[in-house]
């Protein structure tokens, strides 16, 4: 028997007492009423028979796994199973998109639009002593020419294929003449080393500069101009993109960060948002970098206020004189929001 139901997700915040549903008398229906901005786009689930303990980073993954989608909402957002993890399964989240939510016009395939080619590679790193998948997108009509192609490098590559449809977005933007042709690399990290590689790891940047980029230049006709090169990612990938730009501006002249984990600090046990990388930008000489930064207005995870730390980085970068495109989206720490912001970032940094 259902004793309680809690609405779970950044959509409604993480305060248990504010998100318990009420049961309609003499029915099996539970309800909750919210007032929210009309431009909200986010995902949510229901947590029946919840423990009613406070949400935290430590218990969030286990609790969300027990949640279920809204049976009365036909809109869903699918997380496909991880092909690298035999124990994973696909997860359907309920999606809420209110009337004023910004359009996401580039995420669906369009009839008659030429498609680029996608090729999977397995890249071994002698420096990191591991291997990873890398999907390389080449634009329609790709061939060596007088003008080398721009380069887009994205961390958490499988997510930028399955949850953010990067090839489709690029196809559509290129067909409209809004972007110059570019080669895109969706780079994965091995699951066991992702959190280490994407948290301000200098050896990982050395791998990019000394192994990955030279390999790409041998196999693809890409530019050596850092102003035509973008490094990007979301969450820890956004943190890694900014760190990579700071330490390798001669290669990567543009940083695309989506909800970057700029709360991060060196002491994993210290549950305080130290914002180590933001301090590095504050005390380091200004580099020839341009930024696109977006973050969700609903990103108020307990102990990790991503809205606050991204605003702080934005202020620091402006004070240092960096060109920055900054946007606050009407969502949470979620791909349903990032997939729209991603195309905005491409247009801001490389649009023609």
Both tokens assigned to 265: 């600090």
Both tokens assigned to 142: 């790709």
pLDDT score at 270: 54
Q: What does the pLDDT look like over 11-31, one tens digit per residue?
A: 887 788 889 999 999 999 999
How far is 187 from 113, CA to CA, in rounded Å? 25
Helices (H), 2-155: 57-65
pLDDT score at 267: 66
pLDDT score at 11: 82
What does the chain come to in residues?
A: 352
Grouped pLDDT means (10 residues each) for the chain, 352 residues? 90 84 94 95 93 79 84 93 72 94 97 98 97 98 92 98 98 98 97 94 98 98 98 98 99 99 77 81 98 95 85 99 98 96 99 90
How far is 220 from 329, CA to CA, in rounded Å? 35
How far is 234 from 333, CA to CA, in rounded Å? 9
> Which residue, among 252, 205, 213, 248, has the nearest Cα to 231 in the 3D structure?
252
Percentage helix, strand, coil for the chain under 3-state DSSP, each rounded to 5: 30, 25, 45
45 touches 67 (CB < 8 A):
yes
DSSP class per residue in 78-104: EE---TT-TT---EEEEEEE-TTSPP-
Helices (H), the chain: 57-65, 159-162, 166-175, 194-197, 202-207, 213-219, 236-247, 276-283, 306-320, 335-350
pLDDT score at 64: 76
pLDDT score at 272: 52
Judging by DSSP bridges, how do beta strands 41-48 and 182-187 pair with one another? unpaired
pTM over 0.75: yes
How far is 323 from 289, CA to CA, in rounded Å? 7
Both tokens assigned to 243: 């760190």
Query: What are the structural domains, with CATH classification, of the chain?
Result: 5-97 (no CATH), 117-350 (3.40.50.1820)
pLDDT score at 302: 65
């Amino acid at each position: 028997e259902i004793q309680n139901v809690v609405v779970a997700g950044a959509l409604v915040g993480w305060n248990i007492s504010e998100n318990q549903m009420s049961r309609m008398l003499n029915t099996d229906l539970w309800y909750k009423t919210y007032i929210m901005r009309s431009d909200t786009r986010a995902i949510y689930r229901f947590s029946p028979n919840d423990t009613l303990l406070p949400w935290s980073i430590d218990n969030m993954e286990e609790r969300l796994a027990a949640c279920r989608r809204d049976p009365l909402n036909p809109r869903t957002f699918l997380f496909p199973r991880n092909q690298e993890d035999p124990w994973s399964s696909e997860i359907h989240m309920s999606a809420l998109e209110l009337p004023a939510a910004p359009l996401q016009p580039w995420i669906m395939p369009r009839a008659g639009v030429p498609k680029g080619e996608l090729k999977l590679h397995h890249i071994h790193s002698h420096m990191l002593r591991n291997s990873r998948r890398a999907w390389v997108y080449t634009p329609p009509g790709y061939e060596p020419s007088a003008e080398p192609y721009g380069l887009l490098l994205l961390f958490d590559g499988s997510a930028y294929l399955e949850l953010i449809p990067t090839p489709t977005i690029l196809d559509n933007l290129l067909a409209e003449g809004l972007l110059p042709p570019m080669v895109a690399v969706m780079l994965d990290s091995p699951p066991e080393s992702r959190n280490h590689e994407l948290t301000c790891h200098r050896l990982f940047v050395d791998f990019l500069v000394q192994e990955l980029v030279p390999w790409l230049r041998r196999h693809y006709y890409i530019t050596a101009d850092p102003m035509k090169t973008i490094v990007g990612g979301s969450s820890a990938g956004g943190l890694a993109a900014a760190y990579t730009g700071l330490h390798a501006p001669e290669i990567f002249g543009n940083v695309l960060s989506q909800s970057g984990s700029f709360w991060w600090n060196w002491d994993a046990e210290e549950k305080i948002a130290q914002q180590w990388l933001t301090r590095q930008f504050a005390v380091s000489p200004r580099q020839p970098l341009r930024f696109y930064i977006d973050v969700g207005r609903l990103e108020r995870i307990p102990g990790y206020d991503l809205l606050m730390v991204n605003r702080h980085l934005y202020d620091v970068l402006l004070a240092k004189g960096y060109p920055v495109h900054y946007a606050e989206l009407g969502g949470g720490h979620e791909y349903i929001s990032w997939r729209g912001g991603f195309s905005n970032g491409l247009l801001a940094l490389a649009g023609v």
